[in-house]
């Protein structure tokens, strides 16, 4: 199945977790990919895996801090130039930080917003002209189950994910008549680097997190679970899906 043959895709957060899994899924389906991440070592791992798969000829990597406006402007321009256009943007870059809300500093709050919410905005703003030029561009943003369900100690993270959902709805409506689709995935109970150590406070009441177990399967799912859904949404199989979010959590929040 080569749903992305001839398609150009830019994926942030491509050095680890769901972002990396999405890079390999799109490559496996014939796409040309620029994988961006702030972590150069992570990107090297992504490239090594692609070389082992024989897909590295269609992969370019770029070190990029999505919270830096100048870096985003240059990074998106470089990606579009190297690909020869842009069909899909996947905004997978993000950070998860935890704290008691009454102990959350403004610096802590702003750091989470800068990467997750502002980073999504900056990447999308810079990519929009190229996405619109093709007449059927797609933006896939990353929300989370925390946007709609209580995840204690993660108020800043949850706020960014709720904001990303609203932002996605807004651009889906604004650019629909120009052929753009914008959708969100809302993962939960996914085994990725982000969830291995969310940095919970030492005195966190873990009973408040008991409901974060999936109803199906044998525990948290791998990041490839989300990558497969992203591939569907970003391909022509998702052509009638826009302005919405899709929860991927194994029934954790039924």
pLDDT for res 196: 63
- Residues 20, 42 contacting (CB under 8 angstroms): yes
Q: How far apart are CA 110 and CA 128, in angstroms?
A: 25
Give me the sign of the Cα torsion angle 29, 30, 34, 40: positive
pLDDT for res 207: 84
DSSP state of 203: T
Q: How far apart are CA 96 and CA 98, in angstroms?
A: 7
Report how far apart, in Å, the C-alpha atoms of 207 and of each of 177, 211, 212, 213, 220 are: 47, 8, 10, 12, 18
Report how far apart, in Å, the C-alpha atoms of 113 and of each of 108, 159, 164, 242 are: 9, 8, 10, 24
Please tell me the chain's helix, strand, coil percentages from 3-state DSSP, rounded to the nearest 5. 50, 15, 35
pLDDT for res 195: 63
175 is catalytic: no
pTM of the model: 0.95
pLDDT for res 20: 98
212: its two tokens: 């974060």
Closest CA to 148 of 10, 25, 33, 244: 244
Closest CA to 203 of 99, 96, 105: 99
Give me the sign of the Cα torsion angle 77, 81, 82, 88: positive
Q: Which residue has the tokens 């990029």?
A: 64
Domains annotated on the chain, with CATH: 8-108+134-248 (3.40.50.720)
- Residues 223, 14 contacting (CB under 8 angstroms): no
pLDDT for res 198: 77
What are the mean pLDDT values of the chain's consecutive 10-residue runs (254 residues total)?
95 98 98 98 98 98 98 98 98 96 97 98 98 97 92 94 98 98 94 74 84 73 95 98 95 82
| Identified catalytic residue from 4, 142, 153, 157 | 157
DSSP state of 222: P
Closest CA to 157 of 223, 196, 113, 206: 113
């Amino acid at each position: 199945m080569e749903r992305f043959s001839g398609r150009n895709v830019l994926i942030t957060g491509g050095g680890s977790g769901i972002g990396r899994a999405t890079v390999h899924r799109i490559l496996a389906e014939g796409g040309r990919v620029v994988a961006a991440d702030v972590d150069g070592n992570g990107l090297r791992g992504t490239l090594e895996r692609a070389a082992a798969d024989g897909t590295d000829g269609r992969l370019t990597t770029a070190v990029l801090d999505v919270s830096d406006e100048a870096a985003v402007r240059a990074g998106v321009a470089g990606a579009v130039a190297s690909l020869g256009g842009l069909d899909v943007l996947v905004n997978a870059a993000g950070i998860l930080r935890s704290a008691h809300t009454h102990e959350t500093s403004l610096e802590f709050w702003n750091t989470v917003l800068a990467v997750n919410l502002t980073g999504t905005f900056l990447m999308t703003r810079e990519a929009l002209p190229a996405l619109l030029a093709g007449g059927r561009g797609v933006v896939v943003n990353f929300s989370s189950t925390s946007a709609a369900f209580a995840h204690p100690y993660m108020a800043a993270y949850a706020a960014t994910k709720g904001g990303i959902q609203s932002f996605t709805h807004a651009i889906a409506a604004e650019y629909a008549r120009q052929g753009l689709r914008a959708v969100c995935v809302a993962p939960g109970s996914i085994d990725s680097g982000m969830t291995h150590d969310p940095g919970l406070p030492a005195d966190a009441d873990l009973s408040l997190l008991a409901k974060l177990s999936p109803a199906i399967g044998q525990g948290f799912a791998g990041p490839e679970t989300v990558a497969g859904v992203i591939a569907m949404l970003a391909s022509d199989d998702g052509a009638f899906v826009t302005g919405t979010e899709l929860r991927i959590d194994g029934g954790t929040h039924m």
